[in-house]
Amino acid sequence: MKSKFISILAMVLGLIIIIFPIMGVIGVADLIGLSILLISIYLLVVGVAIIDYNKRGAILDIILGMVLLIVSLCLIYNVGIFGFLAQITLYLAGITLIIVGVVSLINNRQSKYGFYIGIAGVVLGLLYIVIGTYVADPIVLGVLIGLWLIISGVLKLMDG
């Protein structure tokens, strides 16, 4: 009974987020921002606590804590930052996959499937870059979150 309720709840929430896509992005960005905020507070407290006997470690903790504090506040108060960070991550992953694919094409000439491995890396890298272009839009991110909730609910309903 609980499993069916959770499945139906996930599907309903997914439909709501697809209808109001920015709502899903705001929720996700705020949760991630809160998580990063808690990590930054921890790092700042640890940095201050160990400054007497480990100055380098303390300085690193404090600097990282301050950077994460800024990132967390940006995520909590500006939803557009979430899309920007997702886009940058996908661009970096795409460029890395393209480079790995080209290196694989060059290094695996003697392998039976080396060519296909290299081509797959290049194609997937390009796909990541294309997806990164669309993920910058918070509405697309909201729709993706909603679709994931619906798919999760349907699969959970079919499972149990």
Q: Which of 3-7, 51-55, 121-125 has the lowest mean pLDDT?
A: 3-7
Q: What average pLDDT does the structure give for the chain? A: 83
pLDDT mean over 97-123: 79
- Contact (Cβ atoms closer than 8 angstroms) between residue 132 and residue 98: no
**CA gap 34, 85 in Å, rounded:** 16
pLDDT tens sequence across 67-99: 999 999 988 888 778 878 877 887 888 888 888
55-77 vs 21-49: helix crossing angle, rounded to 10: 160
Q: pTM for this one?
A: 0.63
Long-range contacts of 99-102 (CB under 8 A, 24+ apart): 99/125, 100/125, 101/125
Please give the angle made by the CA atoms of 126, 131 and 134, to the nearest 5 degrees: 135
Report the alpha-carbon distance of residue 81 to residue 29 in Å, rounded. Answer: 8
Q: Locate tokens 């060059």: which residue?
A: 106
* Cα→Cα distances 125→104, 116, 121, 131, Å: 13, 14, 6, 10
Domain ranges for the chain, please list them.
2-159
